Structures are given as C-alpha cells and as structure tokens.
A and B are shown apart, each in its own frame.
Chain A
Amino acid sequence: MPRELYALIGPSTPALSAQLAKPRLKQKPNFGGTAPRTKWELRTFKNPARKDGLELRHWEKVGADSAADYPFAKYDIQPNSYQYSPEEYTRLLEDKDWTKEETDYLLSVVKEYDSRWYIVHDRYNFPGGHERTLEDLKDRYCSVCRKLIRNRPWAGDDAGKTLLISSYQFDKEREVTRKKYLKSLEDRTPDQMAEEEALYIEVKRLEQSERRFKRDRENLLRTLAGIDSGLPDIVEDDPLPLAILEGSKTKTKKTKGVAEAESPATPAAAPAPTVKKPIKSAAYDAQHCIIRTETLSAAIATKAAHQPAYLRSFKLPAPKAAIAPKVTQALAELGISHTRLVMPTRENALLLDSLIEATTTLVETKRAYDKAEYEIQVLENRLGLREKSQPAEGAEGKIEGGAGMDVNDAQVGKEVEETDGEDGRAQSILSARSGGRSRKHARRSMSISSVDTVSTRANNKRQKRN
C-alpha cells in the first residue's frame, strides 16, 4: 500500500476481497432472451350474441383452452323489456296524456335503442303524437315498468322487488328542475359571474363582521353586566365560537355548510341506541315468539276490533271462490296443498299467500288467453263468411291466413294480392289457415305437457332430498 494512501485511510485496511469484487451494476433488462416466448395464434371464434353464426378470428395464447366459450359472451346481457296485455293496459296503465299505441311505440323504441335515452328521444317520432321531452318519455316508461312490476306476481323475495322498482324510480319534476338549474348555470354571462362572485364575497364579509360585532357585544355585556353565559341566541346561531370552545381545529376549517350539517351532535348520537335496541329485542322476540307490528293510532281507539286468539292454520289464505278449483288443481300439480301446511309458520303462510296470488294470475291469464283465442276464431269465421259472399275480393283471404304472423307481412300481402286475385288462392288460404291453427294447438298442448313433466321432476327431486 502506498504511503500516501496509508496516511489517508490509516490502519483500518479494507478487506482485499471488497476491493477485488466486481462492481455491481444494474441488472440488464432481459428482452425476451431467456424467458420462453409466448406463442400466439390466430383462431376463429363465435360470438353467441350473433344470430347469424358469423365466424371471426382473433389472436389467442397457444396454451389457452381453445374449446372455451367466447369470454366476452357474459357481457351480452339483454335488458328487461316489459310487455303488457291490453287488459293490463286498461287496468293499470291508462293515462290521459298517452294512448296505448303511443305507449307501445315508446316501449319498442326504448327496446330498440337499449334505453339510451338521448338516442330514444332523438329518434322518437310518433305519427300524430305531440312533442315529447326526454323527461316525458322517461317518466312514462319508468312508470309503466314500475306499475307492471308492482302488480305482477313476483318470484323472488320482496327486497329484490323493491330494488327493481327503485331502479325504475324517476322524478320528473326534479329532473326538469335540475336541468333548468344546470342550464341557467351554463347560461351566465361573464359579467353575471363576476357579480355573483362579488356578492358572495360581500355576504361572507358581512357575516364575518356581524359575528365580530356579536362577540364584541357579548364581551361588553359580560364585562358590564357580568352575565355569565352571554345571550343564548347569540351563541346558538354562531357556529364558530362553538367550534373553538370544543377545541376541535378540524371543525373550524370546514365550511359553514358542512359544520351545520354535522352540528346537531345530540340528534346524531341519539339514533345509536335506537339502532341497537331492535337487535337486542329481536333475539328476545324470537325467543318468546313475539311479532311486533306497526300500530295505527286510529286502531287503538276501537276496542271491539280486537282479534281473538287463533291458530295460525285457521288464517291460511284461500283463493277466490270462483277460480278456487282451478287454483287447487294447479297447485296440486306442483305438489302443494293450499288448505294444509306441514309447518304453518308466519313466513310460510305469507309465502303461501303470494303463491296463491301468483297462481290466481296464472289461471286468469290462461282464461284470458282462451277468450282471445275464441274471439279470434269468431272473427275468422266472420271474415270467412264475408269472403264467400264477396268472391271478387278473395284477396282478403291471404291476409287471414297470415294473421298469426306479423302485421306488416299481412299488409304487404294485401298490396300484392290487390294486383292479382285468382281462384286458386282459395285452397292455399284454407290450408294455410288450418296449418296455423293446428300449430297453435300443438303449442298449447306442448306447454301443458311441459308443466306435467316439470311437476313430476320436482317430486323426484324432493324424494331424493329426503
């Protein structure tokens, strides 16, 4: 070791190895040198959302499961679309401002544009209808959906129903006001904005000076008259001194609005015990089989209204007498007897009630269906008779045959037929019609048989479970 160096570092010689070790440099980034390369390949895939079965290709990792479904298929969620029967419309959805046709049209437009309201509003053009604002459309649509959900039997629990209904909640007035405010906010001129700013500062200044004035006055009163706590009203409407008294610096930093929102400290603390109490008493109630209901103050007054003690099974819900046999039969197919429950608890009685309600609606729907079918037959017969009496206008027959299909098709058919009416048509008409009817019957019987299989399957499952 050179002498000069020794003079510098002294006897504490660093280890030789440390000097000889290679300097450590930053590790070089490894640009795919040693790591195995990921292989990609171009593969065909099908998107189940497409009805035409189009095959496109995309790059996929070689290792990935090639048989797997298209991973983005799960995002193809169809929005709920609601339909209503004319009976439902007249019962629930009548509105003096809307005709059924326009409501139909609205629902179809909303469905077509997937509830994208700006587009819906843009495209909305109902012939003969008057101008609708976006809020009008949205309000009508949401109210229709809400009413339908509320009045139809619901398969899930009540919470789900309320949630779904609340998702269709729409406050038109509020929305209009909100937009009006926003518009006026946007429409301000620079002058107005400056003026507003100035006014705001002015108000703040006034508030501050008033506060100072009050404090001064209070101090003065204290020194002069010796009032201990000052004037209560002065302290009350002055949040700043309060906050200082509490010694919390964070509160003083907050804007007045926030401080005020939080200031009612006692009411905020009060709900805590009331929240706790139900939990404690819920266990107590469950232990003692107590059910608490909201008392209506009006009901208290009447003494005669007392409901005597009863057995739960005595109050089981019963279907309407007129359709009771059909409901009983339908429930029997499902393996449920509505007159007896194994465990008539409160929950089960409520469930049975909703089940009977749903079944009643089902029976009524079926009845309405049969009625509609009958009326269609009557009308078809009338048309048929008319057609015979007016052989020159045999063209109408074709329309009749196409009645089961789309309305537009029928109209197109009419136009075509107007040009050439031939005798040979009559046969094809008949065959088309009978074909249509038999198809209907087949469909009906199919659904009935499916009900049967379903119920037997349910029974099997039950047996397995037990």
Chain B
Amino acid sequence: MSNDRVRVRGLSIFRPIIYGNTAVVLTQKERDASLTPDHTHRWTVAVRSAASPPDGDQVGGADDLSYFIKRVSFKLHDTYPNPSRNVDKSPFELTETGWGEFEIQIRITFVTESGEKAATLYHHLKLHPWTASGEPEIPPLDVAMKLGPVHSWQYDEVVFNDPYQNFLNILTSHPPTPLPKSKRKPVPFHLAHPASLEASKGGTPEFTTQMAREEEERLKEARTRVVEEQEKWRAMLIEKENELMDLQKRVNGIEAA
C-alpha cells in the first residue's frame, strides 16, 4: 500500500475528452407548456469521453468518465436560478432551456486518488446554426428547427504528469475506447476549420482519428508553404544586404576621398 502514493516519474498519461453542447429548438407546444415561455431552445452541455457509443444518437460518451472525474460544475449565466450546478456522477451533463448564447464555465474536479487540482475550461453555449464565416447569424426559429440540432464540441486531452501509482492503476484499468479510424458520421464542426461546415451537416457528428490526421496534414502543408516563402524572402534579403554592403562601401570610399 505504501508505494501506491509514489509518483511514477517520466510518464504522462492522458484521456481524450470532449466538451460542448447540443441544442434543439423547442416546439411551440413545449414552449407553452413550460414555465418560461420566452425560452426558445433546449440545450445540453456535457463533458464526455471522445469516442461515441456504437449505437445511439449522441456525440461522444462511449466511456463512463467517473473513474477519474469526481465532479463537473457548470457555471451558467447569472440570470438562471441557482447558476452554479454540480454534477457528481456520470453522465456529466446538464440540460436546460434558454434563449441566448453565453459562456459556460466548466470546472472538472478529479478523483481524490489523482491528487490533482480541478481544471477549469470555458465553453461558448451554441444555440444557433453554424455559418461558414463564423459570424453569428440568427435564422428565424422555423428555419432553425428544420436545420436540426446544433452541435458544438471541442476535443481535448486531459494530461496527468507523473501520476501516483494507484491513480495510474485506476487509469490503466479503464482504457479509453479508441476513436474510429475513419469517418462514419458527419464531422463535428470547428471554427478553426471552417471548411468542415459542409461535412458537419446531416446528423449527429462523431470524432474520429481521421480528423486529427487531416489537421496534421493541414498543419504540415501550411508549414511547407511558410518555409518555402521564407526561403524566398531570405534569398531576397541576402541579395538586398549584399547590395547594402556594396553601397556602404562606396559611401565610405567617397567620404574617405
């Protein structure tokens, strides 16, 4: 037992998670039935495992994350009653209704064995459909309803450095479901990759390793281009500097004469 609380040095272990929200437009009937008829959307904000369950219409959440997450606190807009909501068991999600987008503070508390402090992250609650430009554009409700649920999810990895032996044991006894290698469902839209807008349409999206590979390619392509451009500029710079030195010499020569 004593060596359970020893840190395993030189090792970092991560868990892929996603956080974000799904939003649907409320029907008129639902709105009439609720206590807050001005609310137009129902949304669910959640922290889930990155892989999606094989069956089911949900983004991510194939694994139960409660083995390393103790609590997730969602801090909503102050206009909500009791805006700080704690979720202490899986699934770590919260469903509410509302009419506007706002920033949600998500605080992830890890299990005690981890000996880690809580991590805080922010998610912009997304109610209205994505646009290619990224500019918010609020379509009329009936149009939005036809477009279907809005998804806004961010992939991330929780990294634990030098974990305690017993925490490491807990983690390794729960290997995460690997992400599918290729695309089976629509791609989750992300502002950093606006070109994915078309691919994100038509149903519940799913995170895949293909997305990581494609981003890797995008980055590599950009780097190649930057390096090429830099080589060109450097050649021009060398030319310029030689010209400058030449001029300098001539000026010095004239001044000396």
Residue ranges of A at the interface with B (Cβ–Cβ < 8 Å): 83-87, 152-155, 287-295, 299-300, 306-313, 330-331, 334-337, 340-348, 351-352, 354-355, 358-359, 361-362, 365-366, 368-369, 372-373, 375-376, 379-380, 382-383, 386, 396, 399-400, 403-404, 407, 410, 443, 447, 451, 454-455, 458-459, 462-463, 465-466
Please determine whether A383 and B251 come into contact, CB atoms closer than 8 angstroms: yes
Once the chains bind, are A288 and B223 in contact (CB under 8 Å)? no
Residues of B with Cβ closer than 8 Å to A?
7, 9-16, 110, 114, 116-117, 119, 121, 154-162, 171-172, 175-176, 178, 187, 190-196, 198-199, 207, 211-212, 214-216, 218-230, 232-238, 240-248, 250-251, 254
Query: Ordered nearest first, which 9 A-B pairs have the shortest CB separation?
Result: A295-B10, A343-B212, A309-B116, A312-B157, A155-B227, A372-B240, A362-B230, A351-B219, A342-B190
Known A-B contacts A289-B176, A294-B10, A372-B237; A310 and B228 likewise in contact (beta carbons under 8 Å): no
For the complex formed, measure the closest distance between the CB of B118 and the CB atoms of chain A, giving whole angstroms.
9
**Inter-chain contact B243/A376, CB cutoff 8 Å:** yes
- Residues from chain B with a CB closer than 8 A to the CB of A335 are 194-195, 218, 222
Q: Give the tally of cross-chain contacts (CB within 8 A).
A: 217
| B226-A359 in contact (CB<8A) | yes
Q: How far is the CB of A377 from chain B (nearest CB, A)?
A: 10
Question: Which one of A289, A290, A403 has the highest number of Cβ atoms from chain B below 10 Å of its Cβ?
Answer: A289
B176, closest chain A residue (CB): A289
A337 near B226: Cβ-Cβ < 8 Å: no
A-B contact pairs, 28 of them (CB 8 A): A83-B235, A287-B175, A295-B9, A299-B9, A306-B7, A306-B162, A309-B158, A309-B160, A311-B159, A312-B157, A330-B226, A335-B195, A336-B222, A337-B192, A340-B192, A343-B211, A343-B212, A365-B234, A368-B237, A369-B240, A372-B240, A373-B240, A379-B244, A383-B251, A383-B254, A407-B242, A458-B225, A463-B195
Describe A's contact surface by its main secondary structure. helix
Instruction: Establish whether residues A311 and B158, one from each chain, have CB atoms under 8 Å apart when the complex forms.
Output: yes
Greatest chain A CB density within 10 A among B14, B191, B224, B226 is at: B226
Chain A residues with CB under 8 Å of B157's CB are 289, 311-312, 344-346
Report whether over half of chain B's contact residues are helix, strand or loop; otherwise say mixed.
helix
User: Closest Cβ of chain B: how far from A335's Cβ, in Å?
Assistant: 7
Nearest B-chain residue to A390, judged by Cβ: B254
Q: A152 CA to B219 CA in the complex, in Å?
A: 18
A278 to B219, CA, bound (A): 29
Which chain A residue has the least Cβ–Cβ distance from B12? A291
Q: Which of A292, A355, A369, A465 contacts B223 (CB 8 A)?
A: A355
- Say whether B10 contacts A404, CB under 8 Å: no
Given contacts A313-B154, A351-B216, A462-B218, contact A291 B11 (CB under 8 A): yes
In the complex, chain A residues whose CB is within 8 Å of the CB of B190: 340, 342
CA of A292 to CA of B247, assembled, Å: 56
> B161 to A307, Cβ gap below 8 A?
yes
Residue among A294, A309, A358 with the highest chain B CB neighbour number at 10 A: A309
State how many angstroms separate the Cβ of B175 from the closest Cβ of chain A. Answer: 5
Q: Which of A287, A334, A343, A351 has the most CB of B within 10 A?
A: A343
**Which residue from A288, A337, A462 sits with its C-beta under 8 Å from B191?**
A337
Q: Determine the chain A residues whose CB is within 8 A of the CB of B212 once the complex forms.
A: 343, 345, 347-348
| C-alpha gap A345/B213 in the complex (Å) | 10
Distance in angstroms between the alpha carbons of A462 and B172 in the assembled complex: 38
Do the beta carbons of A372 and B254 come within 8 Å of each other? no
Chain B residues within 8 Å of A345, by CB: 157, 212
